Amino acid sequence: MNPALFDSYVFVDWSASSGPSPATPSADAIWIAEWSDGRARATYWRTRQSAHAHLERRLRALAAECRRALVGFDFPFGYPSGFAAAAFRQAADVPWRATWDSLTLGFSDSPANLNNRFEVASALNRSCRATGPGPFWCCPSALADRWLTVKKAGTSFPFMSDAGWMLAEYRACDLRALAAGLRIHTVWQLLGSGSVGGQGIAGIPYVNRLRHADGLRSVSAVWPFETGFRLNAIKNASIVFAETWPRVVEGLVHPGARPRDRAQVLAMARWAADLDRSGELAALLGRPASLTSKKLAAVIEEEGWILGIR
């Protein structure tokens, strides 16, 4: 049996909420689970900034100890192919990085957990099509404008940008999940039960900062953007960031577990650890089956992939 790829497994249930989460640990907040040395621990965080500070400290410590960590976040790392070109009006050499850097620059968050994710989405929509809404949709009525609407009405897919780029509603990995009978939300939906779009805008900037933090910059990689699904590239990084989705481990979570978010991140951390020990995690981090060369390039350059979707 091949040795495990990682020593620690850190999984994060993120939140895009405005305002601190309740003092009493609850659902719809930030939960972080870590599985190390056969032991699991989950912690609760009321704000994104406090969770980020904890993660940075913890990942720096693991890197300093020469321990390798898989770090999963439950929001999309990328958008359907063509988004960077549509939003920024030029073909980016590295589309995912152009999007990550733009979100990091435009997104603001306060110590009180107040953020501008809907304003960021509206500005991106306006860049894509100055005359109407989309591709992002769903926001509070008080924040709706010409470019960002309360409901999906007015936004259709494939979405045509002013620059002539056609944007799909789903990424390749989302379509793979749908084909497997898994209900998955589009990355464009910002609000509503099960939606992930808001978390992406409010989460990517934090992963980007972790990726480039002192002590982590030279030892980190974002899967699959910087690894290309290559096992050697994964082994060369001490800290590997990956997009995850709790539905992948739905069957491992007890139906009565509360808070469910806590149970899910603990289940995901143990799931990854078990798969790594059995040698199966390497296959999930490898190239997805049945992707054309063109689609594979789009996944690596812009769309990303969900760990656990084959």
What is the CATH number for 212?
A: 3.30.420
Residue 93 inside a domain? The answer is: no
Report pLDDT for 46: 97
What integer best gives the mean pLDDT of the chain?
Answer: 94
Give me the helices (H) in the chain, please.
48-64, 83-88, 95-106, 117-128, 172-179, 197-211, 231-235, 260-278, 281-285, 293-298
Q: Is the pLDDT of residue 124 over 80?
A: yes
Chain-centre distance of CA 123, in angstroms? Answer: 21
Confidence of residue 115 (pLDDT cuts 50, 70, 90): very high
State the pLDDT confidence band at 257, using cuts at 50, 70 and 90.
Answer: low
In this prediction, residue 89 has a pLDDT band, given cuts at 50, 70 and 90, of confident
Query: Is the separation of the CB atoms in 272 and 35 below 8 Å?
Result: yes
Band (252; pLDDT cuts 50, 70, 90): low
Position 153 in a domain: no
Domain count for the chain: 1
Q: Convert the pLDDT of each residue in 70-86 to its tens digit.
A: 999 999 999 999 999 99
C-alpha closest to that of 271 among 46, 6, 59: 6
pLDDT at position 92 is 64
Residue 143 forms part of a structural domain: no
Asked if 10 and 269 count as a contact pair (C-beta separation under 8 A), the reply is: yes
**CA torsion sign, 247 to 253 to 259 to 263?**
negative
Tell me which residue has tokens 């109407």.
Answer: 132
Q: How far is CA 150 from CA 139, 153, 239, in A?
A: 5, 8, 38
* Centroid of chain to Cα 250: 18
* Helices vs. strands in the chain: H and E counts, helices first: 10, 8
Q: Are 234 and 240 in contact (CB under 8 A)?
A: yes
Residue 274 to residue 261: CA distance in whole angstroms: 20
Q: Is residue 224 predicted with pLDDT exceeding 80?
A: yes
Q: Check whether 249 has a pLDDT greater than 90.
A: no
Looking at the domain assignment, is residue 106 inside a domain? no
In the predicted structure, residue 133 carries a pLDDT above the cut 70: yes
Model pTM above 0.85? yes
Average the pLDDT over 175-193 and give the result. Answer: 94
SS3 content of the chain, % helix, strand, coil (to 5): 40, 15, 50
pLDDT for 153 equals 84
Mean pLDDT over 108-112 rounds to 97
Give the structural domain span for 298.
8-75+194-303
Q: Tell me: pLDDT of 166 over 70.
A: yes
Backbone angles phi, psi at 303, to 5 degrees: -80, -35
Domain membership flag for residue 187: no
Residue 97 lies inside a defined structural domain of this protein: no
Of the ranges 193-202, 245-254, 278-287, which one carries the lowest mean pLDDT score?
Answer: 245-254
Percent of the chain with pLDDT over 90: 87
Question: Quick one: pLDDT band at residue 194, thresholds 50, 70, 90?
Answer: confident
